[in-house]
Structures are given as C-alpha cells and as structure tokens.
Structure 1
Amino acid sequence: MSEQRPTQGTQTLARGLRALELVAQGRDGATIQEVSAQLDVHRSIASRLLATLAEARLVIRGADGRYRTGAGLAALATGIYATLRAAAEPVMRELATDLGATVSLIVDEGSEAVALAVIEPPASGYVLSFRSGSRHPLGRGSAGVALLAARPPAPGEADDVTTARMRGYAATYGEVEPGAYGVAAPLAAIEGVPAACLNLITYRAEVAESAAPALLAAAERISAALR
C-alpha cells in the first residue's frame, strides 16, 4: 500500500497551527524570520501564514514587527487565554468583592490594551462597567501604563511608565473614563503567557488610594497559578 501524502490544504493548515504555536510559546512572540526558520519555509510563506492568523485575531503584529498572541484565541475556549482567564477570574471576584470596585484582566495586544475578562462587585450601588473585548491605546489609562511598564525600558518612554515600573503598579485619573480612578498591576512575565495586568476602576478616591497592596497580591496569586 502506498503512503498517503498530505494535500496542499492539510499541509497549509499544519503549518498555520505550528506558526501559531511558535508565536504562543515565544517569550515575546515571534518574527516572520523566526517562523520561517522554524518551519523551514520561505519567508513569504511564513508571512502569509501569520497574516492569515492575524486576520482571525489569533495573533497581532506589534509596532516592532513581532507577532504575539491575540485576544481572538479566547473565542476558541482553549489555549493560553482560556488558561489565563481560568486562573484569574476566581481571584478577580474576591478582589472586586473586597474592594467594591470593578476589576478587569487586560492583555497587551501590540499597540492596544484589551479587556479579556471583567468582574463587577456584587453591590447594589453604582459601579463602573465595561465589556470584555473593550480596547484602548497602550500608555493611556492605568492598564495601558502598567502593560508598558511590564516591557523592558525604552528610550524616551513616558515618566508615568518609568514610575510604574519602579513601584510595581500604575495609577491614573480620568484618562479612559472621565472622573474615574484606575490602578493596575502587571502579572509576572511567564514564558508562553501573554503580557497581562489586573486593573481596578472606581469613582471613589479612597478605594483607589488603598487598592495597590491588594492588587499586587492578587496579581502574584494569579502569576503563581500560571507557573
């Protein structure tokens, strides 16, 4: 019996899945050249594979040319985003209840901060709310600043990013929602896990001013569960 050879379609699918795996497993994603070398294919083929994955929001291309995992993976209910949510949500519920404020899990998607999960406190009073999938530019709001602070120092970076990196969390006021305070703490860098942070938003100054220790402890608990 002759050996059945893979068709062009199945070969392309296999390469695409392998390219996605390479991006997900890389500590800081992967470049077209790195995918090309690992798959032993021409650079143009690697570029097309990554472009197709990007169209499906499974990966995103950063300003530095590197491809990183995208929030579209969450829709598959498997993979690293599902693992990240499963580790984070129980801790987020505790935090939202204890502080009486909305807590979100925000991931770094190249030039944007994207909400992967949002937990509101079980309170009868008015609380700030937004949807999973909401996004805003990195560097804006506490989550955007915290995610930039989780990256290596960059020439010319904003002072609030440098400050956030030094103290371990970011705090802002009115940058995304007028009149709202934001406090965010990045999760530890873990190989194969996208950069993420816990973000708290509230209209209450006293909550924001005292939230950092609890937020940092929660981020460490989630990071420990992912290791």
Structure 2
Amino acid sequence: MTDSPRAAGTQTLARGLRVLQLVSMAADGLSIQEVAARLDVHRSIASRLLSTLAEFHLVTRGGDGRYRTGAGLAALATGIQATLRSAAEPVMHDLAAELGATISLLVIEGSQAVALSVVEPPGAAYVLSFKTGSRHPLARGSAGVALLAAQSASPGEAANVTEARERGFASTFGEVEPGAYGVAAPISVEGLPPACLNLITYRPETAEGAGPALMAAAARVRAHLLG
C-alpha cells in the first residue's frame, strides 16, 4: 500500500523545514551529503530539497558547494518571530506576575540563544533583566540547555540536555549572569525553530519552585501555536 499524495506532501514539507533548520544552525553551512546523512535519506532527495529551498532564496549554494541561509530567510524569520512573540507574550506577562521574576522568550540562531522578548514583573522594586536581542552561546545557561533539549536527542549530547528533555525544564546557576539562577522550559513545534521560556533571578527560592510553572506556561504557548 502506497502513501497517499497528502501524506507524501506532508513528509516532503517536514523534510524541507528540517533541512532549513539544519542549514540555519550550521555556522559553516552544510553539503548535500551532510544533509542526506542527517535526514537519513538518499543524496538525490537531499539535493532536491536544497534546490527547492534555493529557488525561494531560503538557502544559497556557495562556491565551495556548501549551502547556507539565503536572503529570503530574513523575511521568513521576521514572520516566525512575530508569531512566536504573539503566542508567548500574554503567557509571559502572567508568569512574570505569578513568579515575580523576569521571563524571556529565546530561540536558536546558529550556535547562540537569542532573546526575542523580555517581560519584567509588574510593580517590582528591583529585577534582574536583560535586553531583547541579547545572546549567549548555547553551551551556557538554562536557556541554551532548554533550546538543545527542544530538539531530537543526538549522539554524544551533554547529560544536562538529556536530563532537561526528560524532566521538562533546565536549571543552571551563574552560567550567564554571575550569582543568578536560570530556569527554562523548551517549546517544540514542528516547522518552527526551537524556543524556550526562561526565568532569571537572584532568589534561590524562586528558582527552586519555578520548573513546573515554566513547563505549564510553555505548554500554553505551544497550544496557542498549534491553534
């Protein structure tokens, strides 16, 4: 029994989105063979997917034969980011008020975690915060761990990433801001870049109880994104 045209089309779309995600996360781009290996498909399938993405200027092939993100991705990224912010910010305002701490929405950009939105708790005399657009390496901080945990498991991944995926949130201390606690819950929706909600605070009692609340908030955002 063969797959229906609709099922085949859905699979092709999912593969194309995955290719776009893989290329966007590779600092030096990817070759056709590398894409084929990561998708576990024949080289010819990877080539067709990359060619289609190139037609829409979402990726571009360099002189070295490696594919990197193209100019068309900027407009697409802007729309995706607006969608994520629209779904997340009402939830973030509720969570910041509930926990009395700064909540941020972060996504993966290459090898870094980038803040798309930052919400401070209302009426607080003093808060720990940072600016929208702030970034740090994925290897550091609760947000970086949660963003890696939002992806499928990979061979040799760090133990804290595996742990965060299993329990639903990541927690760190002093890895991005000295003396600060970070707690983050991943948001994974097919077709969208890995994202997370992150809390940052100097208060250990706030961080210790924040995991379940962040997980519930991430689930609300995911439900909004799925419609």
TM-score bin, normalised by smaller chain: 0.7 to 0.9
Report if aligned partners of 1:118, 1:132 keep a CA contact under 8 Å in 2.
Answer: yes
| 192-201 or 45-54: bigger deviation | 45-54
For residue 192 of structure 1, report the CA deviation from its aligned partner: 2.3
Q: CA RMSD in A?
A: 2.8
2:44 aligned partner? none
Give structure 1 stretches of 5+ with no counterpart: 1-21, 60-68, 74-78
Q: In structure 2, give the amino acid aligned to 1:119.
A: V
Question: Structure 1 residues 126, 53: CA separation in 2 closer, same or farther (over 3 Å shift)?
Answer: same
1:13 aligned partner? none
Report if aligned partners of 2:169, 2:211 keep a CA contact under 8 Å in 1.
Answer: yes
In 1, Cα distance between equivalents of 2:55 and 2:220: 39
For residue 110 of structure 1, report the CA deviation from its aligned partner: 2.4
2:67 matches 1:35: no
Q: In structure 2, give the amino acid aligned to 1:196.
A: A
1:53 aligned partner? 71
Give matches, 1:171-182, under 5 Å.
Answer: 171-182=171-182
2:17 to 23, 26, 43: 26
Please state whether the residue corresponding to 2:20 is helix, strand or coil. Answer: coil
In 2, Cα distance between equivalents of 1:82 and 1:160: 30
Please state whether the residue corresponding to 1:117 is helix, strand or coil. Answer: strand
For residue 51 of structure 1, report the CA deviation from its aligned partner: 4.9
In 2, Cα distance between equivalents of 1:169 and 1:81: 22
Report if aligned partners of 2:139, 2:145 keep a CA contact under 8 Å in 1.
Answer: yes
Runs of 4+ with deviation above 6 angstroms:
none
Please state whether the residue corresponding to 1:125 is helix, strand or coil. Answer: coil
Give matches, 1:14-163, under 5 Å.
Answer: 26-27=17-18, 29=20, 33=47, 34-37=49-52, 46-47=60-61, 51-53=69-71, 58=74, 70=77, 73=78, 79-163=79-163
Please state whether the residue corresponding to 2:124 is helix, strand or coil. Answer: coil
Q: State the number of aligned residues.
A: 184
